[in-house]
Amino acid sequence: MGMSVKSILTVAAVTLIIASSTQAAAASKLFAGSRLATEDRFSDEIIGHGPDVIFIPGLASSRETWKATAERLKDRFRIHLIQVAGFADEPARANAQGPVLVPTAEAIDTYLVKQHLTPAVVVGHSLGGTMLLYLAEHHSADLKKGFIVDALPFYPRLIGGPQATPESMKPLADTIRNDRSQMTDAQKAQFMASMATAQSDRDVIAGWRQASDKSAIANGTADDFTLDLRPGLANISAPLTLIYPDYARLGTPSGTSDKIYRDAYAAVPHITFVRADNSLHFIMFDQPSQFDGALEAFLAD
């Protein structure tokens, strides 16, 4: 029997902090001829021509998450590939200590305003989707529309149940920040099995984590455990699209993901739901055709 969505994310909750503190000297670019803008908490690789679209990857993830998407869109759009400082091969800089999630989201908003990219079209995966949702609530005038890929407004509800609050999750968040958790090889394997179907994709994701700054991952994970965006959902003015996986490959019962994700975002005034069938967390890897179709519809709207 496969893991439930709850057990998948329970494993993920602690496994996310397992990463090497070794990092490369500088973040890498994906495209020859692109421009790289480096800020204290992230960098932005810019490629293509046309309307601007900003892409934010998830926890411990590289901008490479979006490489195939950028290849497909760069002749029609100017693509901004964000990479958070401390994740993958990006030096940690201002994210070496302390909170990561909200300060990075705030830094991205400041950058978008400074570069005259607002109101912005933003795409975010996982923790990047959480940052997008934060921008929608706290800087609504700066967001034109958002495309969220498998992220939730209060992730710990899947672990602590309906009664979970930021306060009740703080002890676990503190444990993660202090890096006291140990995972078995079997638990690590379970976690990676929830990320992507192909072993080659899992290897890439694992490599990003290995190249990430351990403190940045731990603090980013702990931030996610204590940030509750549910109270502000009803006030979001920008239209959102949420694409979420069904996790059927792990044996998750039919309809489970629909209930979790649709209930979580029910208060958002303008939202389009898209379920990615036979997909795990990295939908753009597992089901590229479904992902591309949903993204094209979002960009055309």
- Would you say 53 and 80 are in contact if contact means Cβ atoms under 8 Å apart? yes
Whole-angstrom Cα distance, residue 273 to residue 265? 9
Total domains in the chain come to 1
Rg, Å, the chain Cα set: 18
Burial (CB count <10 Å: 0-12, 13-18, 19+), residue 262? middle
Domain that residue 97 falls in: 5-300
| pLDDT tens-place string over residues 134-154 | 999 999 999 999 999 999 999
CATH of the domain at 20: 3.40.50.1820
Task: Give start and end residues of each alpha helix (H) in 22-98.
Answer: 67-73
Q: What is the pLDDT of residues 100-135, one digit of tens each?
A: 999 999 999 999 999 999 999 999 999 999 999 999
- Is 283 within 8 Å of 242 (Cβ atoms)? no
Collapsed DSSP state (helix, strand, coil) of residue 132: helix
Tell me how far apart the alpha carbons of residues 169 and 156 are, in angstroms, rounded to a whole number.
Answer: 7
Q: Are 272 and 296 in contact (CB under 8 A)?
A: no
Opening angle at CA 154, ends 153 and 159, nearest 5? 145
Task: Report the C-alpha gap between 165 and 248 in whole angstroms.
Answer: 28
Report the run of H or E that residue 44 belongs to, with start and end. strand 42-48
Q: How confident is the model at residue 6 (pLDDT cuts 50, 70, 90)?
A: very low
Total residues belonging to the chain: 301
As a whole number of angstroms, the distance between CA 156 and CA 10 comes to 9
Burial class (CB in 10 A: 0-12, 13-18, 19+), 134: buried
Q: Which of 13-27, 107-121, 220-234, 282-296 has the lowest mean pLDDT?
A: 13-27
